Amino acid sequence: MQAFVEIDGVSKAFRGQPALVDVTFAARPASVHALVGENGAGKSTLMKILAGVHRPDRGTVRLGGAAVAWRSPSEARRGGVSTVFQEFILVPTLSVAENLFLGRERSGRFGRIDARGRRAGTAAVLGRVGLDVDPDQPVASLSIAEQQLLEIARGLVDDAALVILDEPTAALAPAEAERLFALVHGLRAEGKTIFYISHRMPEIFALADDVTVLKDGRHVMTVPAAETTPVGLVGAMVGRDVGDLFPPRGAGGGAAVLEIEGLAAQGLAGPVDLTVAAGEIVALVGLEGQGQRPLVSALLGLEPPHAGRIRLAGRDVAGAAGPSRAIAAGLGFLPEDRKGEGLCLDLSIGDNIRLGVISGRPLAGLRPRLADRLPRLFHDLDVRARSPSQRVGDLSGGNQQKVMLARWLARGVTCLICEEPTRGVDVGAKAEIYRLLRRLADDGVAILAVSRDLPEAIGLADRLAVMRGGRIAAVLPGAGASEESVMRAAFGAAA
């Protein structure tokens, strides 16, 4: 069968640093072609060339046998390429409908925007991705998962022949991900070619017809998915054996650090009781929207509780106006949206780390002491960067996550809350982050990890707290848990 997409000798460099080096492979029509590799392997750069964001320094891209050299994303879109990038490009102050048709507005009488047609088109596209929201609702009011579905919906507005999906399930709950998989199968049945970028092996082998592996900007292999295995792909991606993905569980038995007693707050249906001990990792799991984020907001002091107590290392922090009291008591926080809520992308790595150190503390003397510690932090966390002065927005997702961890290591915390600790992170970096979290726990830090990824939660945690209907429905030992037992608790089904 003749290829629909042909990548022929494509190379691209930024500031003299090669991002792609003579990449050559092809994708068949009416197929799902997975593109995998570590962060920094060149996947996003290649997709941005296909999407018209970048132009190659050398090489040729062909679609349907015709060479293309897009000069802009809009030209690529008109040429039949639809792209859903991992990082959201939504405009928070605009409505859902306005975001969907931004740059695609149709005019009615007297040159005015056809608002009625836009609403009808919005309803149809949202239905395809299973997103039930008001078309006039501001995007800023949507959850991260809803914004992810909206990004996917934007990619369906144009009837494109090539659809690029970059980590489309990173923020989706299992039920939402299943709807996406059905959508991908439907697009393939319509004759479209789909490039699917993901770090999640089950998704790749459930969806992909073919798989291409990139490493350090070079093509490693392209094979039918049926002719390889997860172990084979990981070996090709990282160039080494990552060993067991999860480190051994901790010994436990430490003193209580985070104590939640009878907590009631906005978004929680009933009193919540939970304890996380020193040296322990507890995973907060459950179906989407069961109270996980409201509980985290209450712990951070972003949402004052109606009742109950929150203690950190014996210090009462409930009712604090903002997170300052909790941070002063030893709390650290890694948000799910690291670019929107966790990092200042235009600042350096060093300055981003300093933000955690100086919070609530006098500045005098901190900068020199931190400067002395930065090289050791870089070494211990294996941050892949030229120096602490490098802009943090230029780092891969895995290295950005390590910078956020370094912030709290530099400050010294007794409790760390992590939302989706490996969202959008490659398999090699996942293993490193799991080891770092376990090492923190072994050093006496209490860790509460919120994760939609059940295999991750079960493999990493000492205990799993399952939320249902705004309450803690069950607490399961990690060593004996299974996806089935967690889901039974999440749905309230009898054992």
Q: What is the pLDDT of residue 201?
A: 84
Please indicate, yes or no, whether residues 410 and 370 belong to a single structural domain of this protein.
Answer: yes
- Are 336 and 213 members of one domain? no
Stated pTM of the model: 0.63
213 and 331 part of one domain: no
- Report the alpha-carbon distance of residue 423 to residue 339 in Å, rounded: 12
Question: Do 97 and 211 lie in a common domain?
Answer: yes
Stretch (H or E) spanning 112 = none
Residue type, 79: G
Kindly state whether residues 262 and 231 are assigned to the same domain. no
Flag whether 262 is in a domain: yes
For the chain, the 3-state helix, strand and coil shares in percent, each to the nearest 5, are 35, 25, 40
Which spans in 65-165 are helix H? 73-78, 96-100, 115-129, 144-154
How many domains does the chain divide into? 2
Name the token pair of 21: 């080096």
Residue with tokens 């009615």: 108
Query: Residue 306 domain-assigned?
Result: yes
- Confidence (pLDDT) at 20: 95
Q: Domain range holding 462? A: 256-491
Question: What pLDDT sits at residue 237?
Answer: 80
Q: Is residue 251 part of a domain?
A: no
Same domain, 152 and 209: yes
Q: Which residue, of 238, 272, 289, is where some domain finishes?
A: 238
**Residue 113 DSSP symbol:** B
Q: Verify that 191 and 227 share a domain, yes or no.
A: yes
Does 248 fall in a domain? Answer: no
Q: pLDDT averaged over consecutive 10-residue blocks of the chain (495 residues)?
A: 90 88 96 87 91 94 94 90 80 87 64 68 83 88 83 80 87 80 89 90 92 93 93 77 75 86 87 94 88 90 86 80 77 86 87 71 47 73 81 85 86 90 79 89 94 88 92 91 85 60
Query: Does some domain include residue 244?
Result: no
List the CATH number of the domain containing 430. Answer: 3.40.50.300
208 and 269, same domain (yes or no): no
pLDDT of residue 495: 46
Q: Is residue 328 part of a domain?
A: yes
> Does 250 reside within a domain?
no
Asked whether residue 11 falls in the same domain as residue 105, the answer is yes
- Decide which of 211, 238, 265 is a domain's last residue: 238
Q: How far apart are CA 459 and CA 457, in angstroms?
A: 6
Residue 447 lies in a domain: yes
**Distance from C-alpha of 493 to C-alpha of 307, rounded to nearest angstrom:** 29
pLDDT, position 399: 85
Tell me phi and psi for residue 442, to 5 degrees.
-65, -25
My answer on whether 189 and 261 are in the same domain is no
Which of 238, 272, 294 is the last residue in one of the domains? 238
Q: Assess whether 455 and 403 both reside in one domain.
A: yes
Q: Write the CB contacts of 178 (distance below 8 Å, at least 6 apart in sequence).
A: none
Q: Identify whether residues 279 and 196 lie together within a single domain.
A: no
CA atoms of 201 and 196, how far apart (whole Å): 12
